[in-house]
Amino acid sequence: MNYTIYDPTTGAISGHYSFTAPELIEDNLNGKSYIEGKYNHTEYYIANNAPVLKPEDPSSATVKYLFDYTTKNWIVEQALTIATARKQRNQLLYAIDKINPIWYSTLSDQQKTDLVAYRQALLDVPQQQGFPITIMWPTKPEWL
């Protein structure tokens, strides 16, 4: 028989056991509880000794969420979301910074001005109001 081990305070699932006798689990609980059945921690939490399906994870390619077992809602994972946004910004900066100096010297004055403004706008992305959730990415010059 399969058993799901969980924290009775939060409902967070911490593991599974397969035993024929549930009394064997008792010695290894360390303050946790268990229910019969095997439930995945990414999809479920336990409430009132029963599995509850978590709401759908709203994470996207740019905004990462963690499940808050206190409120039973998804909350923004700030550090990972900031790191994801900075990585994207740094990739765009790298594309500019690796420009060949000889090619750069062939640009018109207006193109050089556009390039400098675009690069500065990328550097300023973390200072935008709403960062890292809402980001207004600067528009890359069409000629670039």
Residue 68 lies in a domain: no
Residue 41 maps to a domain:
yes
Number of domains composing the chain: 2
Could you tell me the two tokens for 12?
A: 């967070």
CA dist list (Å): 31 to 22, 26, 106: 16, 10, 70
Are 83 and 46 part of one and the same domain?
no
Residue 138 per-residue DSSP state: P
Range of the domain at 110: 78-127
* 48, part of any domain: yes
pLDDT tens sequence across 70-80: 999 999 999 99
Establish if 46 belongs to a structural domain: yes
**What's the pLDDT tens digit per position in 11-54?**
999 988 887 666 666 666 778 888 999 999 999 999 999 999 99
Q: What is the pTM of this model?
A: 0.67
Residue 20 placed within a domain: yes
